[in-house]
Amino acid sequence: MHSVPSTQHLLDLVLDDDCRSRALLEPAPDVHAACCYLQDAADCVKRMHPRSTPGARTAYALQLRLRPALLVAVAGLLVLSFLEEPLWCRAAKLQSERPCQSSLYPTSNLPYLGQGAAFAVEGTCLAVLLLDVSLQAYSKGRRFLFKAQLGLAACFTALACTDFVWAVATPYHWIRFALPIRTAIAMNHSRDVWRQCRLVVGILPSFFSVGVVVLALLFFFSWCGTLIFHNDTEEGQKYFSTVQGAMWSLLILMTTCNYPDVMMPAYTSSRVSAIFFAAFLLLTWLFCMNLLLAVVYKAYSLQAQEAGEATARQMEWNLCQAFAALDPENKGRVASHTFCAAAAELKQSYPAGGHLDDVTTKLVLEALEGHGSIDHEAWQKLAWLLHVHVSKEHGPSLLRAWPTLAQSAAWQWLSSLVTGPGFELGIAVMLLANALLLFIEDWPELEREAPHHDPSGWENTLFNVLDGTFLALYVLEVVVKVLVLGWQAYWRNPHDRFDFAVTALTVLATAYVLLPTTFNDPRPILYVVMLRLVRMVRVLRILRLPRMLRLARFFISIPHFRLMYSTFLEMLPAAAALFKYMFCFMFLFAAVGTHVFGGRITTDPDSPYFAKLRDTDYGKFGYYANSMNDMGSAMVTLFELLTVNNWYVLAGGFVAVTSPWARLYFILFYLFGVVISLNLVVAFVLDTFLTSYSRESQPTGALDTAGEVPEQPSGVQEHSLAATLDGAELLFQASAVAPEAANDEWCQPWYRARLHGNQPTALKAALLGSLLERPGEVIHQETYRHGPDNP
C-alpha cells in the first residue's frame, strides 16, 4: 500500500514552483499528442487527431471546447421544427388561405414563429455547425472527409445550408427537405444514437429470418381465410374480401387490437371458426412475437457485453499511446514533472482537464507516483483518475463562526439527534400522520359526496391549523439539518434537495394565499405548483397536493422500495441513449408524416377529405385531433401508435384520405417502432434489473479481498469512503492527516474526492478506494462529520 499523502500535498492549493520550473526546463516530448490520447481515454472513444502544427492543435482544442455549443445548436434545430409553420400551410398561403390558424385543421396548437424569426434561429444554429466543420477541416485536413462520421457531418451540414439558402433566396420556401436533414444531423452527432442504430442493423439478419416465418404465416392464413369465408358471408365481406385485405386484417389481429371483433361475424355463425383465429394467434402472437423479443434481448445483451469490452480495450490503447508519447525513449516510466506539464496542458486546452485543479492534480499524482516517476502499470489507473473530482467544502457555518460550539453539550445532543436513526423514523411517522390527515380531509371528494360544511367553521379551522403545524415541522426539519450538516452537505444529498424543493414550494403557495392581496385568481399558483396538469382546483388543494410528494420518502425507507428506487436511478443514465434513439426515430417518421399527410385531416365540411373521413371509424370516434398536420401533433400520434391500442383506427383515417399504400407507412413504423424499438426498451429494462438485483443481493464488504477493513495508517484520525447514489466519494481533511497542522479542525476545509461515471455505486467506491490507496468500508449512505466526538 502506498503511504498516505503528505500534509504538504493536501494543504497546498497550487502546484509547487519546482514542479513547474522543471516542466519548463525539460519540456515533455509530444505533450500535445499525449493530451489528445488522454482526452480520448476520458471519453472512451477513438478520434482522429489534429495535424502537428500549432494552429491545427489550437483549432482541435477549440473544437472540443465548443462541443456543448454544437449539441445546443443541434437541439435548437430540432426544437425549431416544432415551432415552424408546416410546409403545406406555407403553400396554402399562396391562395390567401391560412389553414394553420383555423380550428378546422387540427394541429398541436404550438405557437409558430414568424418566417424571419425562424430563419434567424436556423441561421444561427447552422453557423455553429459550419464552425464545427471548419475547425475539423482546418485541424485535420482533407483526410477528415474520409472518416465516416466526420464526413457525414460535413455532408449533412452542407445539405442543410444549401436548403436554408434556397429557402431564404427564393420565393419557393415551402419546397424544403429541412426536417429529414435535421434528423440525420441529430443522429450523426450522437454517439448513443449511432450505437443504437448499429445495434438495430445487427439485429436485422435474425429479425429477418423470424419475419419471413411471420410473413409466410400471414399469407397462408389469409389465403385459407379468403377461401373459408366467402364473399356472401359477413366475415368475408368485412375482413376477407381479398387476400390483401385479409393480410391487413390478420396483421391487426396479430397485434390483438381487433380481437375478438375480427372473428365475431364468423364465430356468431359457427363456433368452430374460433379454431382458425386461435391457431393464428398461437403461432404468430404467442410464439413468433415472443421469439422476436428473445432475438432482440439476446442481441442487446451481446452488444452491451461487446461494447463494454471494446470500451475497455479502447481506453487501454489510448493510455498506452499517451504513455508512449510521454516516454519516447521507452524507459518504461514517465517523470512526475512530465506528467505535471501534461496535466497543465490538459487543463488549459481540453475538456477532460476542466476539473484538474491543483489539489486534484496532486492527489492523482500521489496515487500514481513512485520514486519521482510513474510506471506503466500505475499509468493504467489514470483513465479512472481523470474522472476524480476534488471539491473543497467547509463544515457548518455555525461551527466556523463559533468553533467552541462543537464542544457544547447542546450541540452534541442536536447533532446526535439529527444524525441518529430516530430522526428519520420520526419524520416517517410525521409523513404518515400527514397522509392520514389529507385522506380524512379529502374523503368526501374521493367518494364524490357533498362536502359537509360546519356553520361555525371549526372543522376547516382545525384542518388549517394541522396543515400549518405540519408545514412548520417540515420547515424546522430543513433548518435543523442545514445548521447541523452545513449547506454544502445538505444540498449534496438528492433526497434533501427534493425535500427542500417541496417544502419551499408549499411555503410559497401558502404565503401567496394567506398574505393580503387584491389579486385573488388561484390559477397562477395552479400553473406553478401543479405544472399546468389541472385547471381549476380549490386553493387548499393546491397547498395539499405538493405535500403528497413527501410520502415518497416513506416508501424509499423500505428496503424493497429502496432497491427499486436505486435501480431506477441507476438505469436513467443508460436509458438516455434509448430515449435519444426513440426520439430521433419518431422524429424521422413525423417528418415524413407531415410531408405525406399534412393538411389532409380536417373537419372543414367543404373539404373532400372530410367527406372521406366522416364515415370511417376514425371519424366516428372523433380522432381528428390525432393528425399529422404539424410536427407536434405528428409526434403525439406516433406515440399513440407505439402503444398499439387502436392503431388500425388511426391508420384507417390516413388511408382513407390518401390511398391503401399509406398502410406501408404504418407497417414500417410498427415493425421498427414497436417490434424492434420497444423490445429494445424491454430488453434494456430486463438486463438492468437482473444485473442490479444480482449485485444488490450480494452483501457489501470492505475494499480488500479479505473482507476486513484495513488498519488506518499512523497519524490518520478518521477516513470515510461513502458510496452514495451520486457516486463514490472519499472525504478527507488536512487536520485528519496531520493534527498539528491546525489548532482547530473546524477551521480547516474538507476535501471531497468523487469518482464520476456510469459504473455501479459499490464498484465506484471500491475503485476510488483502491486507486487512491485509501482505507475504508463501502457503505450505502452519506457520511457526515459533526465534530471530533461524533464521527
pLDDT score for 3: 39
Which helix (H) or strand (E) segment holds residue 721: the answer is strand 720-724
CA 239/CA 247 separation, integer angstroms: 9
Q: Indicate whether 492 pLDDT > 60.
A: yes
The mean of the pLDDT values for the chain is 74
Answer with the residue of higher pLDDT: 63 or 13: 63
CA 708/CA 582 separation, integer angstroms: 46
CA 99/CA 81 separation, integer angstroms: 18
- pLDDT band, residue 20 (cuts 50/70/90): very low
- Set of cell numbers at residue 575: 436509458
CA 34/CA 38 separation, integer angstroms: 6
Q: Indicate whether 515 pLDDT > 70.
A: no
Long-range contacts of 619-628 (CB under 8 A, 24+ apart): 619/653, 621/646, 621/649, 623/649, 623/650, 623/653, 624/106, 625/106, 626/601, 626/650, 626/653, 627/105, 627/106, 627/107, 627/597, 627/601, 628/590, 628/593, 628/594, 628/596, 628/597, 628/598, 628/601, 628/654
Question: Strands of 720-724's sheet, edge to edge?
Answer: 388-393, 750-755, 727-733, 720-724
- Global pTM value: 0.72
Estimate the share of the chain in helix, then strand, then coil, as percent rounded to the nearest 5.
70, 5, 25
- Set of cell numbers at residue 413: 445532543
| CA-based nearest residue to 723, from 688, 689, 695 | 695
CA 636/CA 557 separation, integer angstroms: 37
CA 388/CA 767 separation, integer angstroms: 11
pLDDT score for 220: 94
pLDDT score for 87: 86
CA 199/CA 190 separation, integer angstroms: 14
Q: Could you tell me if 670 and 647 are in contact, meaning their C-beta atoms sit under 8 angstroms apart?
A: yes
Amino acid symbol at 37 = Y
Q: Does the CA dihedral 713-715-721-726 come out positive or negative?
A: negative
Q: Does the CA dihedral 489-494-495-496 come out positive or negative?
A: positive
Q: Could you tell me if 641 and 670 are in contact, meaning their C-beta atoms sit under 8 angstroms apart?
A: yes
Q: Does the CA dihedral 392-397-401-405 come out positive or negative?
A: negative
Q: Which string of DSSP letters, residue by residue, matches 90-154?
A: HHHGGGT--GGGSTTS----PPPPPHHHHHHHHHHHHHHHHHHHHHHHHHHGGGGGGSHHHHHHH
Average pLDDT estimate for 462-473: 79
| CA-based nearest residue to 781, from 571, 554, 567, 562 | 562
CA 570/CA 761 separation, integer angstroms: 9
Instruction: Out of 102-106, 275-279, 296-300, 317-321, give the one with best mean pLDDT.
Output: 275-279
CA 432/CA 438 separation, integer angstroms: 10
Helix intervals (H) in 739-787: 761-771
Place of cell 381549476: 536
Secondary structure class of 711 (helix, strand, coil): coil
CA 254/CA 176 separation, integer angstroms: 38
pLDDT score for 8: 38
- pLDDT band, residue 568 (cuts 50/70/90): confident
Which helix (H) or strand (E) segment holds residue 374: the answer is strand 373-375
- Set of cell numbers at residue 545: 397536493
pLDDT in tens, 179-218: 999 999 999 998 888 888 888 888 888 888 888 999 999 9
pLDDT in tens, 237-269: 889 989 988 999 999 999 888 888 889 999 998
Answer with the residue of higher pLDDT: 700 or 42: 42
CA 416/CA 413 separation, integer angstroms: 5
